[in-house]
Amino acid sequence: MSAALPDRVDVARQVQARRVFEGTLPLASMRRLRGSLASTEGEARYTIEFGKDGLGVAYLELRVEAGLPLVCQRTLDIFVHRVAVDQRLGLIAREEEEASLPEGYEPLLVVDGQLDLADVIEDELILALPVVPLKPGAPLEWSDAADEAVEEQRPNPFAVLGTLKKH
């Protein structure tokens, strides 16, 4: 086991050794994810396990837990969105190999036999982001009561025409 996450790994060697990486990665280090966050404080806890299944398919088992600070699009409050990723990624060298992966595997294209593990973690966190961040407990519907009260106070500009028609 290793707590340090190397920049790039040789995938074939990691699969052969059934290597496991565990540790934490600061959210501030994830340059593509940062733009979606309200703050870069915090970290993601990860476990990455390489191996081969009974069919000989090379895989990367990824588990990531993180609290992502997001802005609620309903209330504009900052809240922490808890994410737990548990994904088995089938390691493929060419896109054509995707069809041969067993059910339950997501494809992960490995270019030149090398992989940046921090990028894999960041990709999965980006995929776990909600399309519209909503804080738990935020109202799901807008109240039209305020809009209706404003409309009732305004005089109808066509009311004058109604009085002319009566004469």
The backbone torsions φ and ψ at residue 127, rounded to the nearest 5 degrees and listed phi first, read -65, -25
State how beta strands 43-52 and 20-26 pair: antiparallel
- Name the average pLDDT for the chain: 88
Express each pLDDT in 121-150 by its tens digit: 999 999 999 999 988 887 776 655 555 555
Lowest mean pLDDT segment, chosen from 18-27, 35-44, 104-113, 151-160: 151-160
Query: Is the pLDDT reported for residue 112 higher than 80?
Result: yes
Phi-psi category of residue 90: left, alpha or beta, with phi > 0 → left and psi -120 to 50 → alpha = beta
Express each pLDDT in 46-72 by its tens digit: 999 999 999 999 999 999 999 999 999
- pLDDT at residue 1 in the model: 45
Query: Is the pLDDT reported for residue 31 higher than 50?
Result: yes
pTM for the whole structure? 0.79
pLDDT (mean) for 141-165: 65
Residue 113 CB partners (closer than 8 Å, separation 6+):
10, 11, 12, 93
Query: Is the pLDDT reported for residue 17 higher than 70?
Result: yes
